Each structure stands twice: as structure tokens, then as C-alpha cells.
Chain A
Amino acid sequence: MLPDKRGYFGPYGGRFVPETLMPALEELEKAYFFWRDDPSFRRELAWYLCHYVGRPTPLYYASRLTEALGGARIYLKREDLNHTGAHKINNTIGQALLARRMGKKRIIAETGAGQHGVATATAAALLGCECVIYMGAVDIERQRLNVVRMKLLGAEVVPVAAGSGTLKDAMNEAIRDWVTNVRTTYYLIGSVAGPHPYPMMVRDFQSVIGQETRRQILQAAGKLPDVIIACVGGGSNAMGIFYPFLAEPGVKLIGVEAGGRGEGPGEHAATLCRGRPGVLHGSYSYLLQDEEGQISPVHSIAAGLDYPGVGPEHAYLKETGRVTYLTASDEEALEAFELLSRTEGILPALESAHALAVARKVAPSLPREAVVVVNLSGRGDKDVETVAQAKGVER
């Protein structure tokens, strides 16, 4: 079972943080291992996922999209139908319940698109915790709706102007807050990134997606999927749907990174496809960086994919070849956004639209008996302004 005791997936992972945080990570790991299998914790988590989040989410057969592409049958795992509109809440409820059992009353988090920030603020409101969200100044500008949502939920949103003013800078600042207030504060990381035990813990909380998918597809199609496709920024929705299928060699797994608007540095966020290993934000994994190890600027039309790192387990799955990592460009994501909106009446998040863009290429090459599952990780309401601007839609 991975990770190993030191938090490594093969050569990737580990715990590269200032000494001040090491005791806190040890405490967190101990608490997580203690509560993870505790029946009362499991019951509590299951109760909230069912009655509050709205799980299980449907596995929806997208018949009109299937017809339009003319190949494999396409199923959508509807994480967009979760409370708050994305998969992020699966993890925030889990970690917030853990924080409560650890006696931590203050929760902090970083956010890119704002989806994780909203999901954290939601969980904090639900459990009556103080909540501070760090968000890049550039992201605040382009995701204003989510900023308002977080504030309405009672969270304090702290703009981070340093660096590129995006997700990585928000994460730097959240870590600085945690170093300062480590005795009272729970740091709720939103992706399968960061120091051990976060990549493992977030994966475990998100793997409910894959477990449901497995059950649902066996019922709906009488077989396991031939292909599962998910977008990868930090990689939490992809790890969540892939994980229960890793031991099924017949299921092809495809992770889709942000190809952005070009191949040069600063034009994309395709960390696994175009980066190389290094240390950032607490773990050893793939990074977009220059030859001296300075972190490169990144770009994606999807704010949630706009990150120069990726979870260490993905780096490992790339190395072993178990998962194939591809890219979809801004343009392809926009086309897929439009296609799903018109054929199925579903506005996907621009992040999820990257996975759909690859499904669009893969499905036509497969026979009708084949089954492709796309993880529709979030809904696109937050992106309508971005899409309208890019497409020149009249208002």
C-alpha cells in the first residue's frame, strides 16, 4: 500500500516543510490513522456525505453527447451536483470533521478557482469553526462570484498579491499562516499535494467518487469502464476517481492537464507532461520550473488548473505508466464546454471541460460497446463570464 511510512509514492512525496510544522504533521498523521477506521467517524462522515453533500452523485449516461461523437458510450460522474457544485466538498467535510476531533477551532485553506475555498468555508460554517481563506489577487479578480460566496459563508478572504497572485502564492501564504498559528489552526489542503499525510488523506476522502462509479457502472453497463478520464491540476478529482481502479489493468486511466495557449513557459500548466521533478509546497513531485529550480509562471483558462505543481502520487503513476497524462488547450476546453452545454444541457466547469475535450478525441475511435467515464468534477456557473469573454457571447 502506498504511500510508505515516510509518505513516499516510489521516489515522490515526503515531507519538505520547516521544522516548526513537523510536529503538527506528525500529530495530523496520527489523528488521521486513528480516526480513519473508527466506526463513529466513518458513520459521521457517511451521514454528512449523504444528507448534506447529496451523495451518491449520479453516473449519468450522456446519450446525446455519445450520439454526437459517434463511438463509445459516455457516462458522466456528476460531481457537479454535489452541494457547492464540485467534488471539493468530499474532502473538506472529511478534513473538517477530523479537525473537530483534533480540537482545532480555526481552519485555513488556499484556493485557486475558489471552489476549494467555498467548500472549506461551507464545512467551517457547518461545524462552527473560524475560517480564513488565502486567494491570489489575480484569482480574486477573475472568480469574484466565489469570493462573495466565501464571505457570505462567514469566511475571511485574504488576498495574496505576492508572486503571480495565483494558487501557488495562496498556498505559500497559507503555509506561512500555519507556521505562525500551528498550535491552534488546522490547515485544510484542497488537493492531493503538500506534505505527507495530505496526498494520502485527500485521496482517501475523494476516493468515494471512484467507489461509487465502480458500483454504478457495473449496474448500468454490466462491466467496468474501458476508459476513465479526469482533469489534473493538483489532481484530487482524478485521484479520487482513479484510485479504486488502479488494480484493474483493463481500465485505461487518462489524466488531462491544462495545455493553455502554447508550449512555452508561462503559457500552460501541464506539469506532468512538460515539467520535471523538484520540491515545492512540502513534497517532491513534478514541477514547472526553470533550470535553476525557480518556479515558472503558469497559465490556464481554468483557474483551478493554474498550478505549477501536481500531487506526488500522480508523478508516481506517470512513472509506472499506469495513468496516461495528456493535455487539452484553452481552446479545446472551450469547445468541449460548448458541446456539453448544447448536447446535454450541462454547463461544465472549465477544469472538467479539459477532461471532456480528451473524451471528444478518444470516444470516436472506440466501438459502441466501449464505456468511457468522464469525471465531471464541477459545474460551470462560476466560469460563465470567462467563457462569455473568450467566446464573445452577446449579453
Chain B
Amino acid sequence: MNRIARTFNSLRDKGQKALIVYVTAGDPSLEATAATIPALVEAGADLIEIGIPFSDPLADGPVIQAASSRALAKGVRLDGILKMTAAVRERLPELPLVFMTYYNPVLQRGLERFCRQAKEAGVDGLIVPDLPYEESGPLLREASAQGLALIPLLAPTSTEKRVEAICSSAQGFVYCVSVTGVTGMREKLDQELGRLVQTVKEHTSLPVAVGFGIARPETAAEVARLADGVVVGSAVVKLLGEGAREEALALVRSLARVLHARCSA
């Protein structure tokens, strides 16, 4: 069993939900990212998404856009990110690690080479927000060959037909986007979210995580009633970008408290 499945299973056995934390690689530096990930895990993160910065991140809101631009401006490159990831893997052998990347950097590295190098660095899965199901065949083949999970995204606008098709080839977990929109902190979730998660659960036995817009423990608690995991990104990236590392860790602790509280249900 791989690290992603092991983590979700062991949380489920304890009646807990997964806290998934996104960080932009190289903001403010790769050394800082390497040091921050263990601290996030210490604070309660169960799975880490490492964001590979891209010049034109069209699925991201202003916080992650700014973090990506800062990282690229500092000269962060894919080889450096792979090296940093390998170092994190060495330190945390059991931590599930996934890359979140736009498709073009993967294409330019070469699908086979990208997947092989990610695997060698200790990565467990890939999330590619601009690669919909219909176009995912070639990457799915290469990722599978390396034993990497290609984690699909589903949205409140996804029709049941699409949910069914996407779930049929899903690996790792299914990532439900909580709102129609880009990443970033929000007050309200989409009314369709409950229906979406329920439909997904009817079509797959994989864990379901919900992300985009979740920044506060109250929202996380609400989502935890529906799903197996919660993704938090922009809220943490924003604090890290402001140099407020302690506040970022405090936020992660407060989210972990909510998600790791044993559910009575």
C-alpha cells in the first residue's frame, strides 16, 4: 500500500480527517520550504502538496500567483525543487508528498522524465489543475508506470457523467474543488459542494478531499462532515509569504485540532 492510502486509512481507523497543506516551492527560498514542511507536519499536516511555480497560474488566486512569481524571480528551477523534495523525503519517510503543477512544465521536461524524476525524489502523486480528464491519457500512462497517483480534480459544475468517468481512472484520492473559482480564501462554499462530494462517493471508494477557499477551522469542520480530507493553501502561503511562520503553524495547528478530533459519527 502506498503512503497516500496508508495515511487516509490510518486516519479513518482513528475516526479522523486528513489535513492537506499546500506550499509554493521556493517561496521565499527552497531551503525555507525544506525547513517549513517538517514544521507543518509537526503542527498536524498529514499530507503535503508542493506547488511548482508557473509563470501563468490561471487556476490560482492572487496569493499563490504572487508566491509563484516571487519564487520564479528568485530563480527557482525544477531541478532545485526535485532536490529539495528528495531531502524532505529522506527526513520524513512516511509523509505523503504530492506535486501540484501546471501541465506545461511537465510537458517540457518530458512526461516520462518528469514522472521518473518525481518518483526518484520521493513524490507519491501529481495534481495538474489544467489537465482535464479528456487530455490526461498520456500523463496517466507515464505516472502509472512509475507508480505515481494522478489525482483528479472535480468541480461543483461537473456533471454526474463526468464524475463517473473521472472517478473510473482516479488514483490516490479525489480532489473536489469547493467553489467555482480559483484558489484563495473565501467566506462561503458552493451550495453544490455537498451534492458533489456525495456523487463522488457513489462512484469511488477512494478518499475524497475538498480544497480551494478553506482558511478557517469553522469551514474546515463543516467540510470534514462531508469529506475525508481538507486542503488548505492560500491561507498558509499568505502567512509564509509575509514571514509570519509562527502564525502559519498556529493556523495549521488549529485546523488539525478540528480535523483530528475523533468524529462521533
Contact = CB atoms under 8 A, between A and B. Distances in A.
Contact of A162 (B65, B104, B157): B65
A181 B58 contact: no
A27 to B, nearest CB: 10
Contacts of B180: 20, 179-183
Interface stretch (B13-21, B126-134, B218-226, B229-237): B126-134
Given A180-B182, A183-B157, A6 B134 contact: yes
Contact of A293 (B69, B107, B155, B179): B107
Contacts of A294: 54-55, 72, 105
Given A172-B56, A172-B58, A18 B103 contact: no
A279 interface: yes
A292 to B, nearest CB: 6
A22 B78 contact: no
Contact of A18 (B54, B108, B153, B159): B153
A251 interface: no
B182 A179 contact: yes
Contacts of B102: 279
A18 B130 contact: yes
Which 3 A-B residue pairings sit nearest by Cβ, starting from the closest? A293-B108, A20-B155, A180-B181
Contacts of A162: 62, 65, 69
A14 B107 contact: no
B263 to A, nearest CB: 28
A323 B38 CA distance: 55
B25 to A, nearest CB: 13
Contacts of B77: 292
B105 A293 contact: yes
Contact of A279 (B57, B69, B107, B179): B107
Interface string A345-376: 00000000000000000000000000000000
B147 interface: no
A293 B109 contact: yes
Contacts of B187: none
Interface of B: 54-59, 61-62, 65, 69, 72, 77-78, 102-109, 129-135, 152-159, 162, 166, 177, 179-182
Given A280-B56, A294-B54, A295-B56, A17 B157 contact: no
A289 interface: yes
A23 B161 CA distance: 10
Contacts of A223: none
B103 A279 contact: yes
A169 B57 CA distance: 10
A109 interface: no
A15 B135 contact: yes
Given A16-B103, A162-B65, A176-B182, A182 B157 contact: yes
A262 interface: no
Contact of B59 (A15, A168, A179): A179
A93 B57 CA distance: 30
A312 B179 CA distance: 30
Interface string A50-78: 00000000000000000000000000000
Contacts of A287: 104
A15 B153 contact: no
Contacts of A16: 103, 130-132, 135
A19 B182 CA distance: 11
Given A19-B132, A163-B69, A182-B180, A280 B153 contact: no
A89 interface: no
A165 interface: no
A37 interface: no
A14 B162 CA distance: 17
A21 to B, nearest CB: 8
Nearest to B153: A19
Given A6-B134, A19-B153, A280-B104, 20 more contacts: A16-B130, A16-B131, A16-B132, A18-B153, A19-B154, A22-B162, A163-B55, A169-B56, A172-B56, A278-B104, A278-B107, A279-B107, A280-B56, A281-B56, A282-B130, A292-B78, A292-B108, A294-B72, A295-B55, A295-B104
Contacts of A281: 56, 58
A46 interface: no
A23 B159 contact: yes
Given A15-B135, A293-B105, A279 B130 contact: yes
Most buried by A among B69, B109, B130: B130
A84 B38 CA distance: 58
B129 A18 contact: yes
A287 B102 CA distance: 15
14 contacts: A15-B134, A15-B135, A16-B131, A18-B153, A19-B152, A19-B153, A20-B181, A21-B157, A163-B69, A180-B182, A182-B157, A287-B104, A293-B54, A295-B55
A315 to B, nearest CB: 14
A282 B179 CA distance: 20
Nearest to A181: B180
Contacts of A14: 134-135
A295 B154 CA distance: 27
A41 B125 CA distance: 48
A278 B56 contact: no
Interface string A187-216: 000000000000000000000000000000
Most buried by B among A22, A168, A293: A293
B132 A22 contact: yes
A176 B61 contact: yes
A338 to B, nearest CB: 36
A19 B177 CA distance: 9
A246 interface: no
Contacts of A22: 132-134, 157-158, 162
A24 interface: yes
Most buried by A among B104, B153, B182: B104
A172 B158 CA distance: 22
Contacts of A17: 130, 132
